[in-house]
Structure 1
Amino acid sequence: MDDAERSRFRVIVVGGGVAGLTLANALEQADVDYVLLERRKEVAPQVGASIGMFPSAARILDQLGAWKAVHEGSEPLRVFYTRDSAGQLISEPDLSALMAHARTGYQTAWGERQNLLQVLYENLKDPSRILVNKDLVDVRHDSDGVTAVCTDGSSFRGDLLVGADGVFSKVRAKMWELAAPDHPDLIQADKNCMISEYNCLFGITKGLDCPRLTPGDVNTSFNRGRCCLSIAAEGGKVYWFAQERLPETYHLGNIPRYTDDDASDFVDRHGDLVVLPGPDGLTLADLWPKTVSSRLVAIEEAKFELWHWGRIGCVGDSIHKSTPNLGVGGNAAVESAAALANGIKRLADSWATSGRRTTQAEVEGMLAEYKAIRELRSDAIVDASGFLARAQNIHGLNTQLFVRFFLPRLAEFLPELMSNAIIGATKLDFLPLPMASLTGTRPFNPVQGDGFRESRLKRMFLALPLLSLTFIALWVMDVTTALEWAESLRNSGVLHLPSGSVPILRSFYYLKGFDDFIAIVNTFFFPTVYNIDPVSRQQLVSFLTDGVVMVTIWVFESARRGNILTIMQLPNLFTALGQLVGIGVVAPVYCFLHYTFSPIENFSALDQRLTNTRVSFAALPAVVLTYLLPFYLTISWPGELVFRQSLLYVWQLYPVWLSLAIWGISRLCFKNTMASDKVYHPQKDLPVMRLYVGGAAALSAGVWWWTALAGGYGLREVFMPDALPRSMGSLTAFAGQFLRWDEVFGFGAHLVWLGYLFWDLAAAGMLREGWFAAAGAGVVSLLLVGPGATVGMGWLWREHILATRRHKCALTPESVGRLHGKAV
């Protein structure tokens, strides 16, 4: 059919791999005319390669009706084991595959690439559009269309030519040739961007007799300059690959090619690579004799800049090529095919409804939009997989440090790397979303994940008002003028009270310098401990009771999965600094850092909000035992008054005792159930959060009302400072003003912090009540029940929202139903 006779938009697809066949399926179901040209004599050859289909690709295959067959012909992944060169575990085994299933509704399946291609081919209703033995030799381009010419003399005319022909794409090479006169520097940069620093031997072993291999288990060994990964399947089948670092970095044009003899030599060099340790374990040499198909190839990496020119576009490995270490290359190809199909569908529909041929400008606009949609994510995936390749091959100082110090403490590394590559995945816009994809605990979201991570620098800048409170507090709460009074009182050895004199305890821990320092700090609390200043006593009792809420929240945040590897995991660093310089100085720093490192995207999965229940269940008992009880005893001990100072010595070190108490209570009283909780019970900690923080808030509210009603003092007189501490003429007056300012800055920072967090919720569409309504509720609560209870209830409200509501762009039954005006 010549160009004049065509009445529909037509696509020529070159390449029958994963990207090409996915695009063919999508175009068929979009009712778009196409033809696919494959240079090989068969569609699904056996080349020794395996492939993993992650939820990002599974959802698209499910839309196309092919996922069930792909899944049934693959092995669902189960447990990941990360090992060193001797086969010993670097980190705890993780259930990331099970977690990915819970998060997305799809299991990660690993199988033969041949099987995937066969399923995609058989899923087509009209396979006659797939033409084999069609090796592209030339591309002829003009403003009205594009023609593909094959070596057998046949030619095919269309409105768009898509290169799905792999990393050494002939379509891309022709596109470079056509674009070179206008963009010589860009083309040269693209030709230089592809590198190869590793080679990889892929293999499929069958009939292996090893009882220790459990189907679905993934074993990865990290070695200096080499690595090995294996996936066990039913019936003694093992999919595996082994890598080695090449002696130099190769570029397009001199990337090495390998023979079967080279593959045998590779096994001779690296046969000792450990798959499973021990005398009954496995090495690469054990896999090789039963390997039924294999291939040694150089591993290319590339992020090409030129994705399209004129009526020519590329898809899959021809424009973004990643290492196999993360297993996402095929998934990225499926995504790109889906994104391109969405654009083609719009052009085809426009022609069908208007009756007007599609112009080159319209094709170019669609291709530019396709690139804009996919480039951020594809580049991020190439980078993430490249980092993992260097980590597994322990290549470079930064990866050595990562493997040595961080990986053993971060079993979540690989699952989170994969999850971030999945959540923002492309879908087919013209086909219904399967229900399975809408019901996971981390819904797909096109504005989250790789390529869309919120800038921490931006958040840091936005939170500068919080940090500024610290510097203001340092100036306001300067203790320089009071130190001389405190030191003089300590050295006098006696505190004179109306009822008599009380000796000042100078030694408790029998560390002279340390005891001398604590004794000075203690003098600031004497007006409260001995009721020298009744107003200050009431203020401090309420203030430190409110502190139970604050410290309990800090402990919960330290145990939260979303705060892994952040400074939030060190709450007792902040409590210790608070004891030294005042919580009013330290709390703004904590709130600033929390806001910076805990954006909404950290909680896109329900399990990321989850805390380690072993720690969080111990939170309030530990806080009451080490913080609240010693303080209450200090101010109320009925016996010898000097003993109150002994209790004060104990209380001053509560950050130490709190750390020990959490460690002891958590291990003696609770089991570590995080491995199963994050998969099956992501809201397990909510009841205890409500009990602990709610109970602490109720206590704070009660003490607030006691302060308001007892003693005949007004709330303003008790809580509001009316002068700078340095302007006071005595230690008692200084301490009274200092502690009021300490509370103002400490809880003021937390109230501002909650304002920031609720602003995040509002921006994410999760605060249905509105930010101003939330702020108004906070003001009313502050007046009625005080700062401690307000912070506690505000934090619990946010926790409820994080646990029960999803981001406005998350694809859930409710959001899709709203989009289409009906229930899903």
Structure 2
Amino acid sequence: MDAQSGFRIIIGGGGLTGLTLANMLQLYGIDFVLLESNPSISPARHAGISLLPHGSRILDQLDLYDKVLELALPVKSLLHRDQIGKVIHDVRDVDRLMHERHGYPILSLDFQRVLQVLYDNIQDKSKILTNKEICNVDVTHNGVVVKTSDGSLYNGDILVGADGNQSTVRDTMWQIADELSPGWISSDEHGRPSSDYGCISGRSSFCEDIEPCSRTSVFGKHYSYIINSGPDGHLYWSCFFKLEQRARGNNIPTFTEEDEREILDARSNDNITPTVKFRHLLDSKDYSTIFSLQEYVFRRWHFQRIITIGDAAHKISPISSYSESACLESAATLVNAIREALAGSNGTKPTLNQIGHAFSTAQSKLQARLITLEKHAHEQHRAESLDTLLHAITGAYSLPKINTENIIDRLSRHIPLAEMLDGQNLGQKPLLVPYKTELLRAPTAPGMSKWYFVGAYLLISGICYYGMWVQPGYYGLWDHMGKVLTTGEFPYNSGFPLKRTYIGNEFIDNIFMYLSVVFMSGLKDWDPSFRFHNVYFLGILIQPITVWTVEAFRKRNLRTPVSMVTIWCTLSQFTGMGIYMPLYYAVHSFVSESESYWWPLSREVPIQYADSMIWAVMIGYTLPTIILFIRWEDPFTLQNIEALWQLSPMLVPLLCTLFAYFHPSRRTRVAQKPQKANELFPDLEPLKRLYVVTGILGLLFHVYCVFTAYFDPELSISAVFWPDFITQEKTLGEGVKFMFLIDVWALEIATYVWSCQAVWDLKRVGRSNANILKAAALIAVSTVILGPGATLCAVWYWRETRLAKTSFAPLRVPRSLLGHRLVEDSLGQVGKTDMRI
């Protein structure tokens, strides 16, 4: 269809972006001509390229990955060094870690060789023209006419500017837009690109003290280095230096060869390692070039029939290694949009409106992501050049303490959301961090919907606070409690004195004395319905405490408020679960915002904690709760046990930590074994078992309590489960019972909303296709019939298995990966693993 339509694309620029675009158009049979201003396609003076996995994936779609792999070296180690060359952090086995996460390693190779592979793959070399500098562009209703410096004219339907940072096509497009549609390109756009850093980039011969297959980052005050080991003994290096002040637009400096020599001489004694100076690399230098690092993502990429992509539209610093792969993404996104426009034109050429829509789609799909990448690269510059005192402290003290997984997480965090060519399926294999195209749908940000959940939690918390601490004052509860605290006697039984001393500390004794006044009415038989409600309320806390503890020990929740479950439970014990736990759910909504939060790797609970959790729950909370409801006759014994029970929710995570300390993995170091994508996560079975056991307990307990409340003549469903809202003075027991009922209803409603949010989140991040309304109805029915505890465990069991999945489609390994040394040991158990998950 594309060939029949006669649609033709003129590509301005024969660099990485332009040649990649040409190969993509060739793949889909779309006609093109590429115009390159230089006399050759592969410039001689260009340093190496670091190709990230999502860039390799696009090359794999073009069936070029194997050819590039033969010319490259995988990065096996990441080394971070200080100003004297001392290693402050190193990461090993990077090639395998990245492969298990993303299907490809990080590759280091000559930039020229990548261009040569792309050029060699073009079947009709007459479409690649050199010495063709674009000097004029005419846009007509039917197409574009491009004139080059030698007087040649080239006709096409659209012009794509892939001519780099100093883009002639972009300048021409701006000029045409200013003439035909003033304001389309903002008047200040020319001056918005900024530069804080300069760079000298070059290639040297092998140095024996630079580790092969490594990427070395050297941190220095207002300077930094990146040294990549490449094939054939080459070292690709970049020396970054900070400019005296930020420059913008036309004020961004250009450098001369004399400037380059002066800067190299000034930096020659910088340490790369303790034994290697920068001058040692310069002694074997093959070539180098100096330039300012421009950083900016333009706000408008297109006008009418002209569009810019790659560095012409978005300039990202090479320090993060995302810049080259972003150019490949840019080309892929444009081709996807063009193919969609061609498909919608029914065999004819797309109209100007269709072309404009395609360009707008391509930009909108990628722009926000590229802005994030640009900011990330800039912050990396600031961190590695020790821009502020905080950066210096972080580099010296925090970085050495960061574990390997967190370093790889930072390198990986933007890879899964990368774009690729549509309709060119490579198949799927289990990945520890699946790409968005390998999920059931592309992940989306929570947006405003998150605030609906947060608002619900805050509303529930506020209503609970009013019901527990404001409204009881109207019923005279505080007067009743004050009388008991003053007289030391409960109104139901003068022979049941209030215990006033526990540990001899007045502050703590007063807290336990107050809690005794609150709890005794629900522990004695003075009001059977209140005692039975208390049994139910404290009994169904087993499952929420279990889930909160699991979340506290997840890798992704470490160093977040979600991990501080002991504090949350402490606040809840003294004020009300229905007040503080909805706030916990609200905090969780913010903590779980990012896409990386939902990676299978992030889900994991270290095995020593996963194995210990069931014992911590049973010993820390379940057993004390059973002991609490034994019918103790001695008043002081019951009050002592009640005081000890108050610590039980906080005891669960503490016991889990204690039991984990003695776990066998601490001796065998099984816990430190790198996770493979085709293997079950070791924590999955213990967690599933935990949910099953506590869930069954919750089911049996709920059914028992409901049947007992219904059939016992001293009880009733309404008396046990429904608050008495009649506005009249209540007794001590009635007032406290009202507080407890408000507390339990607030907690259970908030937990129900949290369970629904769990389903919504999984659908939002592409791990589920569940219908949210049907799921919400099912959870509601299950809460009533099976009980809130059993329902919560069932939701978390399902959630756990969905998050642990590393593949969401039948296994089809990309042909370029078959037989590769990094995957030959990864295929054995994939089918079995997927079935088990």
Where on the TM-score scale, by shorter chain, does this alignment land: which range? 0.7 to 0.9
User: Is 2:691 the counterpart of 1:723?
Assistant: no
In 2 relative to 1, CA 183–567 (structure 1 residues): closer, same or farther, beyond 3 Å?
farther
* SS of residue matched to 1:209: coil
State the Cα distance separating 1:459 from its structure 2 match.
0.7
State the Cα distance separating 1:477 from its structure 2 match.
0.8
State the Cα distance separating 1:197 from its structure 2 match.
0.8
State the Cα distance separating 1:39 from its structure 2 match.
2.2
Looking at structure 2, the residues matched to 214 and 253 of structure 1 have their Cα atoms a distance apart, in angstroms, of 40
Q: Which of 168, 171, 193 lines up with 2:169 in the alignment?
A: 171
Stretch deviating more after TM superposition (116-125 or 516-525): 516-525
Stretch deviating more after TM superposition (87-96 or 48-57): 87-96
Whether the 8 Å contact between 1:36 and 1:130 is mirrored in structure 2 is yes
In 2 relative to 1, CA 483–71 (structure 1 residues): closer, same or farther, beyond 3 Å?
farther
Whether the 8 Å contact between 2:81 and 2:88 is mirrored in structure 1 is yes
Looking at structure 1, the residues matched to 90 and 482 of structure 2 have their Cα atoms a distance apart, in angstroms, of 52
Q: Kindly, what percent of the aligned residue pairs are identical?
A: 24
Matches within 5 A, 1:236-251: 237-251=234-248
User: Is 2:465 the counterpart of 1:474?
Assistant: yes
Whether the 8 Å contact between 1:700 and 1:786 is mirrored in structure 2 is yes
Aligned to 2:758: 757
User: Is 2:576 the counterpart of 1:579?
Assistant: no
Matches within 5 A, 1:320-469: 320-345=314-339, 354=347, 360-395=352-387, 415-416=408-409, 418-429=411-422, 432-435=424-427, 439-445=430-436, 454-455=445-446, 458-469=449-460
Matches within 5 A, 1:179-578: 179-185=177-183, 186=185, 188-210=187-209, 213=211, 215=213, 217-233=214-230, 237-271=234-268, 275-276=272-273, 279=274, 282-345=276-339, 354=347, 360-395=352-387, 415-416=408-409, 418-429=411-422, 432-435=424-427, 439-445=430-436, 454-455=445-446, 458-478=449-469, 482-490=477-485, 492=487, 500-501=495-496, 504-508=499-503, 510-563=504-557, 566-578=560-572
Question: Structure 1: 5+ residue runs without aligned partners?
Answer: 1-5, 817-824
Q: Which of 657, 669, 681 lines up with 1:663 in the alignment?
A: 657
What letter is aligned with 2:190?
A: K
Report the count of equivalent residues.
796
Looking at structure 1, the residues matched to 608 and 589 of structure 2 have their Cα atoms a distance apart, in angstroms, of 25
Looking at structure 2, the residues matched to 273 and 724 of structure 1 have their Cα atoms a distance apart, in angstroms, of 76
Stretch deviating more after TM superposition (77-86 or 173-182): 77-86
CA RMSD of aligned residues (A): 3.7
In 2 relative to 1, CA 767–605 (structure 1 residues): closer, same or farther, beyond 3 Å?
closer
User: Is 2:642 the counterpart of 1:648?
Assistant: yes
State the Cα distance separating 1:301 from its structure 2 match.
1.0
State the Cα distance separating 1:223 from its structure 2 match.
4.1
Looking at structure 2, the residues matched to 107 and 722 of structure 1 have their Cα atoms a distance apart, in angstroms, of 61
Looking at structure 1, the residues matched to 61 and 355 of structure 2 have their Cα atoms a distance apart, in angstroms, of 25
Looking at structure 1, the residues matched to 356 and 533 of structure 2 have their Cα atoms a distance apart, in angstroms, of 69
Whether the 8 Å contact between 1:16 and 1:43 is mirrored in structure 2 is yes
Aligned to 1:143: 141
State the Cα distance separating 1:109 from its structure 2 match.
1.6
Aligned to 1:121: 119
In 2 relative to 1, CA 177–706 (structure 1 residues): closer, same or farther, beyond 3 Å?
closer
Looking at structure 2, the residues matched to 520 and 541 of structure 1 have their Cα atoms a distance apart, in angstroms, of 20
State the Cα distance separating 1:25 from its structure 2 match.
0.9
State the Cα distance separating 1:117 from its structure 2 match.
0.9
What letter is aligned with 1:247?
A: E
Looking at structure 2, the residues matched to 88 and 532 of structure 1 have their Cα atoms a distance apart, in angstroms, of 72
* SS of residue matched to 1:617: helix
Stretch deviating more after TM superposition (481-490 or 236-245): 481-490
Stretch deviating more after TM superposition (334-343 or 252-261): 252-261
State the Cα distance separating 1:682 from its structure 2 match.
6.2
Stretch deviating more after TM superposition (646-655 or 190-199): 646-655
Looking at structure 2, the residues matched to 491 and 228 of structure 1 have their Cα atoms a distance apart, in angstroms, of 73
State the Cα distance separating 1:553 from its structure 2 match.
0.5
Whether the 8 Å contact between 1:43 and 1:117 is mirrored in structure 2 is yes
In 2 relative to 1, CA 694–776 (structure 1 residues): closer, same or farther, beyond 3 Å?
same
Whether the 8 Å contact between 1:505 and 1:645 is mirrored in structure 2 is no
Question: Structure 2: 5+ residue runs without aligned partners?
Answer: 815-837
Looking at structure 2, the residues matched to 487 and 90 of structure 1 have their Cα atoms a distance apart, in angstroms, of 61
Looking at structure 2, the residues matched to 362 and 526 of structure 1 have their Cα atoms a distance apart, in angstroms, of 74
* SS of residue matched to 1:44: coil
Looking at structure 2, the residues matched to 725 and 397 of structure 1 have their Cα atoms a distance apart, in angstroms, of 62
State the Cα distance separating 1:572 from its structure 2 match.
2.0
Whether the 8 Å contact between 1:32 and 1:348 is mirrored in structure 2 is no
Looking at structure 1, the residues matched to 779 and 295 of structure 2 have their Cα atoms a distance apart, in angstroms, of 52
Q: Which of 679, 682, 690 lines up with 1:684 in the alignment?
A: 682
State the Cα distance separating 1:802 from its structure 2 match.
3.3
State the Cα distance separating 1:583 from its structure 2 match.
0.4
Stretch deviating more after TM superposition (791-800 or 226-235): 226-235
* SS of residue matched to 2:187: helix
State the Cα distance separating 1:786 from its structure 2 match.
2.3
Aligned to 1:42: 40
What letter is aligned with 1:71?
A: L
Aligned to 1:744: 745
Looking at structure 1, the residues matched to 549 and 243 of structure 2 have their Cα atoms a distance apart, in angstroms, of 47
Aligned to 2:787: 786
State the Cα distance separating 1:337 from its structure 2 match.
1.5
Looking at structure 2, the residues matched to 494 and 85 of structure 1 have their Cα atoms a distance apart, in angstroms, of 72
Whether the 8 Å contact between 2:431 and 2:806 is mirrored in structure 1 is no
In 2 relative to 1, CA 644–238 (structure 1 residues): closer, same or farther, beyond 3 Å?
farther
Looking at structure 1, the residues matched to 648 and 279 of structure 2 have their Cα atoms a distance apart, in angstroms, of 57
State the Cα distance separating 1:582 from its structure 2 match.
0.8
In 2 relative to 1, CA 424–621 (structure 1 residues): closer, same or farther, beyond 3 Å?
same
Aligned to 2:587: 593
Looking at structure 2, the residues matched to 764 and 298 of structure 1 have their Cα atoms a distance apart, in angstroms, of 39
Whether the 8 Å contact between 1:600 and 1:760 is mirrored in structure 2 is no
In 2 relative to 1, CA 715–104 (structure 1 residues): closer, same or farther, beyond 3 Å?
farther
In 2 relative to 1, CA 220–448 (structure 1 residues): closer, same or farther, beyond 3 Å?
farther
Whether the 8 Å contact between 1:224 and 1:393 is mirrored in structure 2 is yes
Whether the 8 Å contact between 2:219 and 2:225 is mirrored in structure 1 is yes
Whether the 8 Å contact between 2:523 and 2:534 is mirrored in structure 1 is no
State the Cα distance separating 1:246 from its structure 2 match.
0.8
Aligned to 2:830: none
What letter is aligned with 1:757?
A: A
In 2 relative to 1, CA 133–397 (structure 1 residues): closer, same or farther, beyond 3 Å?
same
Whether the 8 Å contact between 2:229 and 2:235 is mirrored in structure 1 is yes
Stretch deviating more after TM superposition (687-696 or 451-460): 451-460
State the Cα distance separating 1:384 from its structure 2 match.
2.7
Aligned to 1:821: none
| Deviations 1:240-270, CA, capped at 9 Å, x for gaps | 3232221111123232223444334334444
* SS of residue matched to 1:524: helix
The TM-score normalised by the length of structure 1 is 0.86
Looking at structure 1, the residues matched to 195 and 607 of structure 2 have their Cα atoms a distance apart, in angstroms, of 45
* SS of residue matched to 1:750: helix
Whether the 8 Å contact between 1:77 and 1:218 is mirrored in structure 2 is yes
| Deviations 1:505-544, CA, capped at 9 Å, x for gaps | 5132x43212222221232222344544443333223322
In 2 relative to 1, CA 616–287 (structure 1 residues): closer, same or farther, beyond 3 Å?
farther
Whether the 8 Å contact between 1:574 and 1:586 is mirrored in structure 2 is yes
